[in-house]
Amino acid sequence: MDSLARVYRKHWAKLFRYRKTNRGCSNPLLIDLSADYWKQSTKLFVVGQQTNTWYNRHVISNRPTSAESLVSIYRDCFRLGYGYNPIFWQAVRQLEVTLGIAPHAVAWSNLNRFDLRGIRPSSEEENEMGTLFDDLLRAEIRLARPDVVIFFSGPSFDDHIRRVWPSSRFSAIPPRSANSCVTSATQTYQPILSGPTIPDSSGPVVFGVPCCPLYADD
């Protein structure tokens, strides 16, 4: 069993309970780090906002094997946006080309572990969810050991990022295209987003760029 699977099994009872006790709650997003991800000379980790439903017809139970079934959905069904063309995944595909990464060989997670009724939770719901599950995102990034982390979350999620990484510092994106910003920053190792500091990492370059909400199929 890999390290991520152990993390998800450890948290599964809490994830399942949250899913079942909150009306309109999606299934939780649980990620997989593919063999192709580890082969890339530049390992990219993309962080979005939240899903827009997440295979909600997939039935889960309180058994930890349900966590493994959701990892399989991420890996084998959704396949990091394969066949999807909303702007979020267009941007990811462009980043893959810009950074010389093979298609669909990145890691992706979200700031919010669940969506509620297909959209962003209310501030109270988001704070509660973060208290319970922000540790999962920190663990995912730590275990992925990325070279570059991109937050496609926009400024309305800055407080959420500060809650996850209290030492975060933000600076304005220069008035040029996101593509040229990413290229320049990656080559010179001058991040657009100064932080968040990710404990126990090798010091990835971290960026924050504005983006529309993530689309994910049900």
What's the CA gap between 45 and 174, in Å, rounded?
22
CA distances from 47 to 53, 63, 110 (A): 17, 27, 5
The count of other CB atoms within 10 Å of the CB of residue 156 is 10
Of 33-42, 43-52, 199-208, the poorest mean pLDDT is in 199-208
Give the mean pLDDT of 123-145: 95
Q: Where are the domains of the chain?
A: 3-209
Please check whether residue 67 is in contact with residue 76, taking contact to mean a CB–CB distance below 8 angstroms.
no
SS3 of residue 55 by DSSP: coil
Structural tokens at position 132 = 């319970």
Q: What is the pLDDT of residue 62?
A: 96
Structural tokens at position 27 = 């299934």
Answer whether residue 185 shows pLDDT above 80: no
Give the mean pLDDT of 99-121: 96
The structure's pTM equals 0.83
Write out the CATH class of domain 3-209.
alpha beta
Ordered DSSP codes for 138-176: HHHHHHH--SEEEEE--GGGHHHHHHHSTT----PPPSS
CA distances from 87 to 77, 123, 188, 206 (A): 20, 25, 27, 21
**How confident is the model over 151-173, as pLDDT tens digits?**
888 888 888 988 888 877 776 65
Alpha-carbon Rg for the chain in angstroms: 16
